[in-house]
C-alpha cells in the first residue's frame, strides 16, 4: 500500500499478523456455518468471529484517505454496496433456476430482503456484512471529521454499544411474542438495512480503528509481550464464558448472549 506524505510516496510495511488474523477468521466462518447450531464449537466460534472481522476492518481503515463526505460515500458504495447488489441479484437468478428454491421466491419476500439487507431468497445471506461495514465506515469517518475531541469519539462508541445491547433485548422480546402470539408481523422483524446489527458491529470497527491510529505508540510497542499475554488470557476467558456461562452470540441476529 502506498502512502503519500509531504510529496513523498512511501510504501507501508505489510503486517503479517493481519493476514494471519484474516485467514483464521475466514476459516472460522466456514467451520462455524458447517457445524450444527447450539453445539459448543458453533457457540464458541460465533462468540467472536464477526467481532474479529469488524475489528480487523477497522484497523485497516484509513481515515486520512478521504477529505469529504461525498468522497467516502462514493468510494465505499462502489466497493461495498455495488458488490452486495450484484451478488444478491446473481443469487436470486440462481434461485429462480432451481425448482425447489424458485417456489420460495415472491414479490413480498424480495421486498423484505431489500428492506432488511439480508437476502434470504438469494441464499447469500452473509453479504449483510457488506452493508453493515459500509455504515460503520461512513459513520465512523463522519464522527472523526466532525468531532476532534477524543472523549466525544469514545462517547459515540459507548452509545452505539449501549443501543446495540438494548436492541438485543428488544429483539428477544419480539421473538418470544411473535412465536407465542403470532401478533407481530414486522418486515423480517428487523430495522432496515442491518442498522440494528450495525450498532454492535460499529463498536468493534471503531476499536479496531483506534488501535490503528495508535499503532506507532511507543508505550504500546514496548509492551508487546504483555499485550500477547493479555491476549492469551482473554482467549481463555472467552472460551470459558462462551462455552459454559453465556448463551448464543450472533451479531446479525442481534443476539449478544447474557448481556
Reported residue count of the chain is 259
Number of independent structural domains in the chain: 1
Residue ranges making up the domain that contains 247? 2-66+131-256
Asked whether residue 108 is assigned to any structural domain, the reply reads no
Q: Output phi, psi for 159, to 5 deg.
A: -60, -45
Identify the pLDDT of residue 108.
86
Per residue in 183-215, pLDDT (tens digit) is: 344 555 678 888 988 998 999 899 989 988 776
117, 193 contact by CB (below 8 A): yes
Q: What is the pLDDT of residues 133-152, one digit of tens each?
A: 999 999 999 999 999 998 99
| Lowest-confidence segment of 88-97, 113-122, 185-194, 227-236 by average pLDDT | 227-236
Query: Is pLDDT above 90 for 255?
Result: no
pLDDT of res. 78: 96
Residue 169 is predicted with a pLDDT of: 72
Q: Is residue 111 part of a domain?
A: no
Please report whether residue 89 resides in a domain: no
**Does the residue 251 lie in any domain?**
yes
What is the distance between the alpha carbons of residues 47 and 239, in angstroms, rounded to a whole number? 9
Q: Is residue 59 part of a domain?
A: yes
Cβ of 136: how many Cβ atoms within 10 Å?
26
Q: Is residue 82 part of a domain?
A: no
Report helix, strand or coil for 27.
helix
Give the Cα separation of 251 and 131 in Å (integer): 13
What pTM does this model have?
0.78
Residue 136 falls within a domain, yes or no? yes
Radius of gyration of the chain (CA): 20
Q: Report yes or no on 126 lying in a domain.
A: no
Which residue from 104, 137, 119 is spatially nearest to 190, judged by alpha carbons?
Answer: 119
Amino acid at each position: 500500500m502506498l502512502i503519500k506524505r509531504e510529496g513523498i510516496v512511501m510504501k507501508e510495511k505489510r503486517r503479517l499478523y493481519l493476514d494471519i488474523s484474516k485467514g483464521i477468521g475466514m476459516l472460522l466462518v466456514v467451520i462455524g456455518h458447517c457445524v450444527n447450531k447450539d453445539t459448543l464449537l458453533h457457540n464458541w466460534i460465533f462468540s467472536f468471529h464477526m467481532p474479529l472481522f469488524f475489528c480487523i476492518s477497522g484497523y485497516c481503515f484509513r481515515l486520512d484517505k478521504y477529505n469529504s463526505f461525498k468522497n467516502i460515500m462514493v468510494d465505499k458504495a462502489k466497493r461495498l454496496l455495488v458488490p452486495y447488489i450484484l451478488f444478491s441479484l446473481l443469487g436470486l437468478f440462481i434461485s429462480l433456476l432451481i425448482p425447489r428454491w424458485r417456489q420460495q421466491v415472491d414479490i413480498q419476500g424480495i421486498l423484505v430482503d431489500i428492506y432488511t439487507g439480508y437476502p434470504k431468497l438469494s441464499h447469500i445471506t452473509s453479504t449483510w456484512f457488506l452493508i453493515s461495514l459500509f455504515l460503520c465506515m461512513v459513520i465512523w469517518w463522519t464522527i472523526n471529521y466532525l468531532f476532534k475531541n477524543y472523549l466525544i469519539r469514545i462517547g459515540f462508541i459507548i452509545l452505539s454499544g449501549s443501543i446495540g445491547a438494548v436492541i438485543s433485548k428488544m429483539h428477544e422480546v419480539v421473538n418470544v411474542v411473535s412465536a407465542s402470539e403470532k401478533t407481530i408481523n414486522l418486515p423480517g422483524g428487523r430495522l432496515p438495512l442491518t442498522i440494528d446489527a450495525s450498532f454492535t458491529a460499529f463498536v468493534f470497527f471503531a476499536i479496531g480503528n483506534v488501535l490503528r491510529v495508535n499503532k506507532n505508540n511507543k508505550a504500546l510497542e514496548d509492551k508487546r509481550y504483555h499485550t500477547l499475554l493479555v491476549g492469551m488470557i482473554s482467549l481463555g476467558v472467552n472460551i470459558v464464558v462462551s462455552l459454559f456461562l453465556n448463551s448464543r452470540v450472533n451479531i446479525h441476529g442481534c443476539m449478544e448472549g447474557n448481556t
